[in-house]
Structure 1
Amino acid sequence: MSLKVVFMGTPAFAVPSLSEILSAGHEVVCVYTQPPRKSGRGQSLTKSPVHQFAELMGLPVRTPESFRKSSVIDGLETLGADVACVVAYGQILPKRALAAPREGCLNLHGSALPRWRGAAPVQRAIMAGDCVTAAQIMQMSAGLDTGDIVMSASETIRSDDTAASLSQRLSQTGAQLWPPVLAALERGGLTATAQTGEPIYAHKIDKAEARIDWTQDAQYLDCHIRGLSPFPGAWCEMAGKRVKIHRAAAITGNGKAGEIIDDDLTIACGSGALRLISVQPAGKSAMSAEDFLRGHDLPVGTQLN
């Protein structure tokens, strides 16, 4: 016996979850994902990673712009699904949509709720210097990530984790939760626990946050840079041009905040210093700090903005 599942997801983060649900033998009656968007230099329409994977697996795909139209929810209701599995879909589901599947909607979230509810839980956890996070499946409710938790798996945040590396691990860890959750749902044994603790919100990353403030502590900036890597990428100006910083190491060092203090591209901070490891000049690929210095004259004492 298997469940009739509607899957809702968009980015690469969601693909392992869809794969695990299919591998567990459940019938995915439809996949909902964001419509194709323009991307790349040619601005050609590109299907989402979930859309591409669903088509590869021969699954029907729907791409509504939103669930504000009653006709879209009508279509969801006619599927007669047992449950909807939602992973980084990117759309708000109204109450009627949440109630359309027989057992409602379950959502995979990348944090230890109620810490980091909202749009950017992975980035915010790293930027805050958290040592541990989680992948959790919750029952969806009308509030923002307020539903009861049905299963959770902790994930250590490593000292060298970026948003990309931590997201990749959480996507795999979270995907492995779906088979036992759906098996419990199928036999009527799924239990849920209310969230406890003070909610903290993972607000969407603002572009203004990406500019590096060298007056901050070096350890803080290390977390900040890793949390914004690879996108949107923390940046500063070097020789009048914007340069993204993808990797750095907090070390001891003294100097005026923003000053290059050695020949290895180490920058003094408000407290301590950052040795840059991986940088990306505008219009170019990421490169090592050593390679970057071969093409740029940045002597000791140069002040960065």
Structure 2
Amino acid sequence: MRVLFAGTPEVAIPSLRALVDAGFDVAAVLTRVDAPVGRKRVLTPSPVAVAAEALGLPVLKANRFTTELIGALAALDLDAAAIVAYGGIVPPAGLAVPRHGWINLHFSVLPAWRGAAPVQHAVLAGDAITGATTFRLEEGLDTGPVFGVMTETLEPSATSGEVLERLASSGAVLLVQTLAGIDAGQVTATPQAGEPSLAPKLSIDHARIRWSDPAPAVRRRVNAVTPEPGAWSLLDGQRLKLGPVRPASVGHGASADVAVPGVLAPGAVRLAGREVLVGTGTDPLALGEVQPAGKKMMNALDWARGAIARGELVFE
């Protein structure tokens, strides 16, 4: 089966490698153009471009489907196109190029969480189950008929980054199985069933923690935006980035370095034994790591011992 692979970020690489390892004829790899990275804004090829070149595959770079690009794809005589987080819209003229169409690997159980950030929204919503879906790409946003689905349990402690890393690997297997089934004429697509939900990209504003929310909601928000765009809160007008948080292991009335009152006010920071607790709308949560402005990520206990010595700490 002669296929095109389209993808851009790190999460797409397991699928590309899986197709090559499974013996598919990968005619070319389509990815987005080099983008500025870092403070010096150095033009850098996408992770998929780097992986494709290492595999000795031809690479096409484009952010939109021009007449020239569609012509180049048509010349490849494609049976199918596999697409994983490419980051661009495929127009009708592009969709019509491969004989079996475009097969998209999406990191949710469709029709749940259609859009750019399905894993983040699943974590934020506190879903019990997540997964990946292969479906035929069409003009609508993740609306095409489904070929296959895999699922896994979504643990309360899992961050979006951890979940996405697992789904990238297991989803790659699903993608290979789907394409093999299409090639053998043994797989057909069925319409999506159920109530859809949308998963737009989460901005830096979505990553600000609202300490007045209940503790489970605070924890889900932190996990949902870890590693990107990264949870944060204001302290004395300065932004402080936060790593994953967890339920406090000490009792509400426990005391060690500093006594912890029965209920901490939302955003109030206290030391309790070897934990740094922050009040929420319900129970306190324990910080793991923090990153003060202009510094590297550090252990929350080391940070708090120095910061508390300078006065009371309350996140805004």
Q: Which of 48, 63, 66 does residue 64 from structure 2 map onto?
A: 66
Q: TM-score, normalized by length of structure 1?
A: 0.95
Are 2:178 and 2:187, in contact at CA under 8 Å, matched by a contact in 1? yes
Q: Which of 296, 301, 304 does residue 307 from structure 2 map onto?
A: 296
Equivalent position of 1:256 in the other structure: 265
Are 1:8 and 1:31, in contact at CA under 8 Å, matched by a contact in 2? yes
Mapping for residues 216-295 of structure 1, pairs under 5 Å = 216-251=213-248, 254-263=263-272, 264-295=275-306
Question: What amino acid sits opposite 1:58 in the alignment?
Answer: G
Corresponding pairs, count: 302
Residues 1:42 and 2:40 are matched in the alignment: yes
| 1:265, distance to aligned residue in structure 2 (A) | 2.3
Question: What amino acid sits opposite 2:85 in the alignment?
Answer: A
Alignment gaps of 5+ in structure 2:
253-261
CA distance in 1, matches of 2:309, 2:15: 46
Equivalent position of 1:76 in the other structure: 73
Deviations 1:179-227 (A, max 9, x none): 2212211111111221111100001112211111111111100000000
Mapping for residues 192-207 of structure 1, pairs under 5 Å = 192-207=189-204
Are 1:260 and 1:299, in contact at CA under 8 Å, matched by a contact in 2? no
Equivalent position of 2:163 in the other structure: 166
Question: What amino acid sits opposite 2:12 in the alignment?
Answer: A
Are 2:245 and 2:288, in contact at CA under 8 Å, matched by a contact in 1? yes
CA distance in 1, matches of 2:86, 2:308: 45
SS at match of 2:304: helix
SS at match of 1:185: helix
Question: What amino acid sits opposite 1:27 in the alignment?
Answer: D
Are 2:134 and 2:147, in contact at CA under 8 Å, matched by a contact in 1? yes
SS at match of 2:49: helix
CA RMSD of aligned residues (A): 1.6
Are 1:6 and 1:28, in contact at CA under 8 Å, matched by a contact in 2? yes
SS at match of 1:102: coil
Are 2:31 and 2:60, in contact at CA under 8 Å, matched by a contact in 1? yes
| 1:300, distance to aligned residue in structure 2 (A) | 8.2
CA distance in 1, matches of 2:228, 2:117: 12
Q: Which of 128, 131, 134 does residue 134 from structure 1 map onto?
A: 131
Q: Which of 52, 55, 74 does residue 54 from structure 1 map onto?
A: 52
Residues 1:13 and 2:11 are matched in the alignment: yes
Question: What amino acid sits opposite 2:160 in the alignment?
Answer: A
Alignment gaps of 5+ in structure 1:
none
Q: Report which stretch shifted further, 245-254 or 284-293.
A: 245-254
Equivalent position of 2:22 in the other structure: 24
Deviations 1:143-193 (A, max 9, x none): 000011111110211222111100100000100112221221111111122
CA distance in 2, matches of 1:79, 1:161: 41
Are 1:247 and 1:279, in contact at CA under 8 Å, matched by a contact in 2? no
Question: What amino acid sits opposite 2:283 in the alignment?
Answer: G
- Identity of matched residues, %: 39
Equivalent position of 1:104 in the other structure: 101
Equivalent position of 2:154 in the other structure: 157
Question: What amino acid sits opposite 1:21 in the alignment?
Answer: L
SS at match of 1:116: coil
